Chain A
């Protein structure tokens, strides 16, 4: 079955540590996205990529970094510069940026 896989499901970060969240899709989608979801809030866009080797900042990119070396993969690194990283992180993909998005089941990141 085609879909998006996010791993790990739960992640803990120590002070000063960078952590990387994995997102893999086998839907052959060109566009991929990273969102942050906080309790009681909607989704906020961190980064998006419309094509391999290209990505753009979203609304809250500070403290995060991404890469898009393969069509299937769009990992997100939460750097130590992100002072409030505790949140639910969702990865999504779509055929192109105008089409509905398919989501993974998220990674919940907490601080130790």
Chain B
């Protein structure tokens, strides 16, 4: 499995429901970032959570980080059809003296009206 591995790979929910996506990683990190990608478009940065933070909020988004389990979750509350997109986590990973941003494969979210 890869660093920054999201699950589920795909998620389909009804409008108004909450959506939860998870990201697992293997090495120590400086921070973890979540991005959204609409079909055929570039990625948009959503939230950055540092390794010493446990939870962060931005509007309807809530991100948690558990460094002991090497995992993070992204919760979207009261989802809307416009939230339909792919969501990627990226870990700012430390490998010796090098820092590297490692991307996951993404979770494809479909919000049905």
Contacts and interface: CB of A to CB of B under 8 A. Distances in A.
A92 B43 CA distance: 9
Interface residues of B, number: 19
A6 B42 CA distance: 10
Contacts of A43: 43, 88, 103
Nearest to A41: B105
Interface residues of A, number: 20
Output the residue of B2, B42, B43, B101 with the most chain A CB within 10 A.
B42
Given A100-B33, A100-B48, A42 B41 contact: no
Interface of B: 2, 4, 30, 33, 40-45, 48, 88, 92, 99, 101, 103-106
Interface of A: 4, 6, 40-45, 90, 92, 97-98, 100-106, 108
